[in-house]
Amino acid sequence: MADLELTSNVNTLICVDDLTALDEDVRIFDVRSSLNDHSYGRNAYQAGHIPMAIFANLETDLSGPVIKGETGRHPLPSRSDFEQCVRTWGINNTDHVVVYDDGPGAFAARLWWMFRWLGHHKVSVLDGGLRAWLAANHTLTETEPTFPRSGFEAKTPITRLIEATEIPHFDGIVTDARDYPRFTGEVEPIDPVAGHIPNAISLPFQLNLDEEGFFKDPDTLKRQFHEANISTSERIVCYCGSGVTAAHNILALLHTGHIEPYLYAGSWSEWIVDPKRPIATHSTHEQ
């Protein structure tokens, strides 16, 4: 766990108007997905997507193999495998990458984080996603673009990762991006064990958005994080169910000027594969 002094001097969000006004090389990605229906994203993309958008599959492009008893539900692929995927997509190091999903940005943030993992600074999440695009009266297409394979080269990561073995010794705040009832262990619709990592705090990613599905402005988010006792200089770990929505919290924190948080990519679904790791619920500190 390298203690890098990284700042938020990176792209985070882009609005529809700014996307359409970009006068540089742009590559757009459609990252629509559903944890309950793995065919949803591809089907939705084929039914209509932003012109020139490439489809990125959460299960196959943005995740590595699931190993029973070792990994969570969406383990990161190896960095070299993802670099090859980016080359196959035809992305160049000079491209401004813009990623979107249905709107909330939960899946888009995963790809946003992964490009930054390859050291690519010019990557943004489309604020409001596809809903904002349609609300601005822009059209969709069913045509799938093709680009020649590129020579994209990964650079030094501008992200931070942390492993499960490091979390008990982490000197900072551990945050959980899942819904509060999942955090407390009252419900668990996906994973076989309910609860959260001991001493973690609940930070549901949905709270990063306003009523219309756009990210709240940095000042509002900063006040919100302050109320959760998170300052802009605090060392933070972000986790969720499988390392997807945690990236949404990372984006929101960087949007406020926070130093780079750590991602626990394996998240809760990996934490619970080892029965020796403690768990906590709303009624118990640890089990």
Give me the phi and psi of 84, to 5 degrees please.
Answer: -65, -35
How does DSSP assign the chain, residue by residue? Answer: -------S-S--EE-HHHHHH--S-EEEEE----SS-TTHHHHHHHH-BSTTEEE--TTTTS-----TTT--SSPPPPHHHHHHHHHHHT--TT-EEEEE-SSS-TTHHHHHHHHHHTT---EEEETTHHHHHHHTT---B-PPP----------S-SSEE--GGGGGG-SSEEEE-S-HHHHHTS--SSSSS--B-TT-EE--GGGGB-TTSSBPPHHHHHHHHHHTT--TT--EEEE-SSSSTHHHHHHHHHHTTPPPPEE-SSHHHHHTTSTTS--B-SS-S--
CA distance 103 to 209: 10
Q: Which of 15, 85, 238, 240 is catalytic?
A: 240
CA distance 132 to 20: 12
**E strand or H helix at 225:** helix 218-227
Q: Could you confirm whether 240 is annotated as catalytic?
A: yes
Residue type, 190: I
> Strand 123-126 and strand 26-30: pairing?
unpaired
Known catalytic residues? 240
